Amino acid sequence: MSRILVIGASKGIGKLTVETALEHGHEVRAMSRSIDALDITHPALEKFKGDALEHDSVAAALEGQDAVIQTLGMPLNRETITSKVTMFSHATEILLKAMAEQKMRRVICLTGFGAGTSRVAMSALEMLGHGLILGKIYEDKGRQEALIKASDTDWTIARPVILTNFKASGKYAVLLDEPTWRNGLICRADVADYLVRAVDDPATFGTEPVLARGR
């Protein structure tokens, strides 16, 4: 079992990743600025109040860990729709620098369908709607992915499609090759399951799958 740092752990997929990792027997350090809101207690859980945009905070959180799962998110509002977004790429720059300093290699980064090279799999209509609403966020997720892929780490980039709050199905599709990439739905719990299972799976190193509900 591994010691896993989850960044962005207080809600959403981050919280589900913490729960899933604990269920799989891992030790978890859950990091968030609002970590007091994480209503999970477990002997193998350490809650760490920290800021993903502060180097010293990230470096301290990484100490003694085997892997890091970055599950950052941000609210969709007027500012994030109309203004340049830099949070994802900036946080990733800080994370990769701290990992290099500690000679830590395993990183799993959560982005989304439409980020980076997966944009080519979107239809013209999807691109239009996605660009109007999520364009600024996903431009930065693209920069985030480029940083991860250029790093000297054992990386995995996970790109879920449209997220739901349904219960875990365990029957999701991991679409590794560009011709298979497609939009659709997937529940957050299934995404968390993939993130945790990928931690100790060398076959996922250097891959950038799209995650979707199975057919």
pLDDT tens-digit profile, the chain (215 residues): 899 999 999 999 999 999 999 999 999 999 999 999 999 999 999 999 999 999 999 999 999 999 999 999 988 788 878 889 999 999 999 999 999 999 999 999 999 999 999 998 888 878 777 877 888 999 999 999 999 999 999 999 999 999 999 999 999 999 999 999 999 999 999 999 999 999 999 999 999 999 999 87
Q: Give 141-162 pLDDT, tens digit per residue.
A: 999 999 999 999 999 999 999 9
Which residues are CB-neighbours of 127 under 8 A, at least 6 positions away?
119
CA 86/CA 137 separation, integer angstroms: 8
According to DSSP H, which parts of the chain are helical? Answer: 12-23, 55-62, 78-82, 87-101, 124-150, 188-198
Alpha helices for 157-210 (secondary structure H): 188-198
Strand partners, 207: 156
Cα–Cα–Cα angle for 165, 194, 50, rounded to 5 degrees: 80
pTM listed for this prediction = 0.95
